[in-house]
Chains A and B, each alone.
Chain A
Amino acid sequence: MVTLRNLLAAALVLGIYSLVMAALWVVLDAVDVAFTEAAVGAGVTTVFMLLAIAATGRHEKIAHRRPWLPILASLAVGGLLIYGTLDLPGFGDPEAPAQQHVAPHYLEQGEAETGVPNIVTAVLASYRGFDTLGEVTVIFTAGIGVLLMLGIVRRRRAGAGDDDDDTGERE
């Protein structure tokens, strides 16, 4: 078993994992997902992780007790998820419910109805537009949450000539 105490290395491993996943999405012909995975997972998230590590500490605290409960919980959840995949239809199975329901309509009528040749964009932005609005709201909420917790806009010092974008010292 490989363990990493160095969080910097762990963050980089996570980024590499995302990049490999992106390659896997390309192999599975899901280029839009691969694009997102590479940009978000391997790119921006890694930077955020590194910044968080820079703000806290570079090494994991050494645990004095073995974390049996978390290990058991992860193994149990992982086992359940793997058990759940046994009932999934085979990869690319034309009889799968996902291929039978609305997918044929999207594939056949998508371009005629939306004028957009990229079916993924047509589904995300038009057929599932309300879901995407929800996703954008989630991202917006994440940004607002970070702002509320860490705060960057409120640094308007008394006597500072310019707006908040001048060189303001923290202390």
Chain B
Amino acid sequence: MTEHLVLRVISKLLIPPILLFALYVQMHGDYGPGGGFQAGVIFGAGLILYGLVFGTEAMRAVAPPRLLVVLACLGVLLYAGVGVASMIGGGEFLEYGALSADATHGNHVGIIIIEIGVGIAVASVMTIIFTALAEWR
């Protein structure tokens, strides 16, 4: 898609705000609509837009599939790891209250960490599926 000047320029302008908005949705999920899942999809959509306009080879440079697979695993492990950490802290699996002396504070911290795990996993998986589909012949 090298000839579409308008698309390329507008995408370059739009992608940074999209990625920034994804981070906002990620961190603001406690207070407003959104959360890790939505943030992951939006972040993935930003990367997918880049891939659509500039091609999958450019996308591979930005988001190497090997790294994405590691990140997807890391996201799920981060979530499950919080569960194990709460067990070590003396609670049940995923009982975040055990993460801190104050149960409410522990809950809040646990939610933030698992949402980050969800976001990382979802963003990586969306990008993986896009790259796989786009390169499949």
CB within 8 Å of B: which residues of A? 31-32, 34-36, 39-40, 43-44, 47-48, 51-52, 55, 112-118, 120-122, 124-126, 129-130, 132-133, 135-137, 139-140, 142-144, 146-147, 150-153, 163-167, 170
Of B36, B72, B93, B111, most A-chain CB atoms within 10 Å: B111
Contact A125 B114, CB 8 Å, known A114-B104, A114-B107: yes
Contact string against A for B residues 11-39, beta-carbon threshold 8 Å, 1 for contact and 0 otherwise: 00000000000000100011111111110
Q: Once the chains bind, are A39 and B131 in contact (CB under 8 Å)? A: no
User: Which chain B residues border A167 with CB–CB below 8 Å?
Assistant: 57
Q: Once the chains bind, are B37 and A36 in contact (CB under 8 Å)? A: yes
In-complex Cβ contact of A142 among B42, B61, B65, B129 (8 A): B129
Contact A47 B130, CB 8 Å, known A124-B35, A133-B80: yes
Complex CA–CA separation, A132 to B38 (angstroms): 13
Q: By DSSP majority rule, is chain A's interface helix, strand, loop, or mixed?
A: helix
In-complex Cβ contact of A51 among B80, B104, B134 (8 A): B134
Contact A146 B103, CB 8 Å, known A47-B52, A118-B29, A139-B122: no
User: Which chain B residues border A143 with CB–CB below 8 Å?
Assistant: 72, 124-125, 128-129
User: Which chain A residues border B85 with CB–CB below 8 Å?
Assistant: none
Q: Once the chains bind, are B132 and A117 in contact (CB under 8 Å)? A: no
Q: Which residue of A lies closest to B86 (CB)?
A: A129
User: Which chain A residues border B98 with CB–CB below 8 Å?
Assistant: none
> Is B79 engaged at the interface, CB distance under 8 Å to the other chain?
yes
Distance in angstroms from B109 CB to nearest chain A CB is 9
Q: Once the chains bind, are B61 and A146 in contact (CB under 8 Å)? A: no
Q: Once the chains bind, are B83 and A133 in contact (CB under 8 Å)? A: yes
Q: Once the chains bind, are A43 and B41 in contact (CB under 8 Å)? A: yes
Q: A44-B126, A124-B35 are in contact. List 18 more A-B contacts (CB 8 A).
A: A31-B33, A35-B25, A51-B130, A115-B107, A116-B31, A117-B30, A125-B35, A125-B111, A130-B93, A132-B114, A140-B121, A142-B129, A143-B128, A152-B135, A164-B65, A164-B66, A165-B65, A170-B137
User: Which chain B residues border A146 with CB–CB below 8 Å?
Assistant: 128-129, 132-133
Complex CA–CA separation, A43 to B7 (angstroms): 17
Contact A116 B135, CB 8 Å, known A140-B76, A142-B129, A143-B128: no
Q: Once the chains bind, are A129 and B45 in contact (CB under 8 Å)? A: no
What are 28 sample pairs from A and B whose C-beta atoms fall under 8 A apart? A32-B33, A32-B34, A34-B33, A35-B25, A44-B44, A44-B48, A47-B130, A51-B133, A114-B108, A115-B105, A118-B29, A118-B32, A121-B30, A125-B115, A126-B107, A129-B110, A133-B79, A135-B37, A136-B75, A140-B76, A146-B128, A147-B69, A147-B132, A152-B128, A152-B131, A164-B65, A165-B60, A165-B61
